[in-house]
Structure 1
Amino acid sequence: MNDLQKCQLNILIEFIRLCEEHNLTYYLVGGTCLGAVRHKGFIPWDDDIDVGMPRKDYDKFIQLQKEIKKPYFIQTYKSDKNYIYNFAKIRDCTTTFIENTFVCHQFNHGVWIDVFPIDGMSKEVKPAIEFKKKVRWTWHQVYLMYLPALKRKLRLKTLWKDIPLNIVAFLFGLLNVGHYRNKLVDKKVTKLSYDDAVLVGNYFGNNAKREAMPKEIFEEGTDGVFEGIKVKLPKDYDKYLTLLFGDYMKLPPVEQQIGHHFDKGFSLTEDYLTYRKEHNL
């Protein structure tokens, strides 16, 4: 493990503690589940941890802000007004990981793990066209949240472009458009309850259309090991990983063995507020 992964593993340990204490169901998902099965821990080049929770458990978890140990913080659009996503992150407030895309966003930029809600996606075994439209609509809303990143330093040669972009970014933040969009997305993705659905999944995963899976794949989960700690995986993790990745035990080409988060600022010894001030970010 590298130092970033060690920091993320500590966050995961605290997350698991809370889940076990409150009897909440969770699973390692996405590349983290793949890492647990194929590598018994992190995929060597991975730079994040993903966990998923059935919606009712997720909703209970994000209410545990007062119970999570310091220096950790459960970040949602309700707990951090400038945060943009409809899924949670758990941040280490003593660290810094500022992604290039979000350097203009004034939210908590500590090292994190992602916590995704798993929602009802379809009442049919084969998702209808309405489901695909819903996924597409959801991601269009997500992309809108990148608008504050349009903010630019004014340059004489490109004033014609920089000024309009800055105005759009400013108005987007001033009118609190994001907060209303978040509520709209939550309403949309929770319209079909987890319990009433045949297919469930993570609307906010990188492969959202492949995320719609039979509910039986998840259920109560099964035990696994991740970097020496006991974790929960989807009950039928083989089917889950096959649907998501295909031949998941096969390593990707060397040129694809890279992380997917690129940082503008990174520190495991300095908190993000101090780092931003010192580096004029």
Structure 2
Amino acid sequence: MTGTFNTGETRESLRKEYNPDGSVLRQAQLRLLDMLDYLKAAAAEAGVAWRLDGGNVLGALRHGGFIPWDDDVDIVVDHKDYRRFCTYLKRHPHPQFVLQDNSTDPGYLKSWASLRDTKSEHLSTENENSRDRKALEIMKYRGLHIDIFPYEDRILPSLQRLAGKLACVVNFRLSPDHPHWAQAGYAFLEHGVFPVFRLFGQLFGKKGAYMHTYGTWFYERFPERVLRPYREIRFEGRTYNGPAEPEEFCGIIYGNYNDLPPKDKRNRHQVTVRFL
């Protein structure tokens, strides 16, 4: 997109306001690009297909890269390839980036993995008693991160929503004050509840309708034709995999995705970044 947004702002004015060169946010975005390039190369070596997800696809279409106020990068891989990719990353460690899952960080209780930067740290600016701050501070690795989500079809949306609620209980209610109960809850969900949900999905779910895996808290469902085959998209002047129909993909998630939200609705994380 070029020209002026619905708010009267332009790409240039947004960049000046939110992430100018040399700002902490821009430094974080550039570090994330280095991490993304590493994952791109590692996925090629491991023979794993992947693509950018969510706000990164939106950012590519609307801003040519990062949403100016955002420091998120998310990728997805097929559920069948997910564990193999995580194993590859752990067996071929990077000198600065580490694969974070429950096996490398007992305080990490999510159904997806993250690639973490060990030369930075997220510092929460929320109240010290907030659930998000406590959930962050219980983790071993707290640097800039790229989430790696498993993706699969035949998920039952009702069970996906229930799975997300259960995962939030473990991550935000139990983990800060009851880590042993949280660890037990995580194991029960991952090895007991979610495999049963997946079995029901294989029996009754819709083939070719894809969602994030059980235990995530993202609930959009996409027909396969919107996602595959993956299509190259430009992001910050670099080329990465995106969905087959990125415009339709963003429409499903965001509606009128070319419109900017009001300033008070721009989702900026309540954290700052310290570079080590």
Structure-1-length-normalised TM-score? 0.76
In structure 2, the partner of 1:236 is 245
Say whether 1:180 aligns with 2:188. Answer: yes
Task: Look up the match of 1:147.
Answer: 173
1:187 aligned partner, one-letter code: P
Match of 1:94 among 103, 115, 119: 119
Question: How big is the shift at 1:18?
Answer: 0.7
AA partner of residue 198 (structure 1): G
Q: Note if contact 1:105-1:148 (Cα within 8 Å) is conserved in structure 2.
A: no
Q: Which amino acid aligns with 1:212?
A: R
* Structure-2 change in CA distance of 1:189 and 1:37 (3 Å): farther
Unaligned runs of at least 5 residues, structure 1 = 123-130, 152-168, 270-281
Q: 2:52 aligns with which of 12, 18, 28?
A: 28
Q: Is the 8 A contact 2:75 2:148 kept in 1?
A: yes
| Paired AA for residue 199 in structure 1 | A
Deviation readout 1:44-90 (Å, 9 max, x if unpaired): 01121111111122222111112242211111223322211001100
Q: How does 1:29-108 map to 2 (within 5 A)?
A: 29-64=53-88, 65-99=90-124, 100-108=133-141
Amino acid at match of 2:209: L
Count of aligned pairs:
238
Instruction: Tell me which of 162, 166, 171 is aligned to 1:137.
Output: 162
Q: 1:120–1:16: structure 2 CA closer, same or farther, 3 Å change rule?
A: same
Q: Partner residue of 2:127? A: none
Q: Does the C-alpha gap of structure 1 residues 198 and 255 become closer, same or farther in structure 2, counting only changes over 3 Å?
A: same
Matched with 2:210 is: 200
Contact 1:147-1:172 at 8 Å conserved across structures: no
Letter aligned with residue 115 of structure 1: I
Report the Cα distance in structure 2 between the residues aligned to 1:243 and 1:94, rounded to whole angstroms: 36
Q: Percent identity?
A: 21
Shift of 1:219: 1.9
Cα-to-partner distance string for 1:165-207 (whole Å, 9 max, x where unaligned): xxxx25525x6332332323542464346x9822012146654
Contact 1:121 1:212 in 2 (8 A): no
TM-score (ref. length: structure 2): 0.78
Give per-residue Cα distances to partners, 1:149-180, cap 9 Å, x unaligned: 553xxxxxxxxxxxxxxxxx25525x633233
Q: RMSD in angstroms over aligned alpha carbons?
A: 2.4
Deviations 1:199-218 (A, max 9, x none): 0121466541xx21111222
2:54 & 2:260 partners in 1: Cα distance? 15
Which amino acid in structure 2 is aligned with residue 178 of structure 1? Y
Distance 2:107 2:256 in 1: 39
State the alpha-carbon separation in 1 of the partners of residues 27 and 238 from structure 2: 17
Tell me: CA distance 1:79–1:240, structure 2 relative to 1, closer, same or farther (3 Å): same
Q: Please state if 1:121 is matched with 2:154.
A: yes
CA contact (8 A) 2:163 2:216 kept: no
- Aligned partner of 1:19 in structure 2 is 43
CA–CA distance in 2 between the matches of 1:81 and 1:184?
18
Indicate the SS of the match to 1:36. helix
Please give the alpha-carbon distance, in whole angstroms, between the structure 2 residues aligned to 1:207 and 1:178: 18
TM superposition shift of 1:103: 4.2
Counterpart position of 1:125: none
Cα distance in 2, alignment partners of residues 120 and 217 from structure 1: 13
In structure 2, C-alpha distance between the alignment counterparts of 1:170 and 1:54, rounded to whole Å: 30
Change (3 A) 1:186 1:92: farther
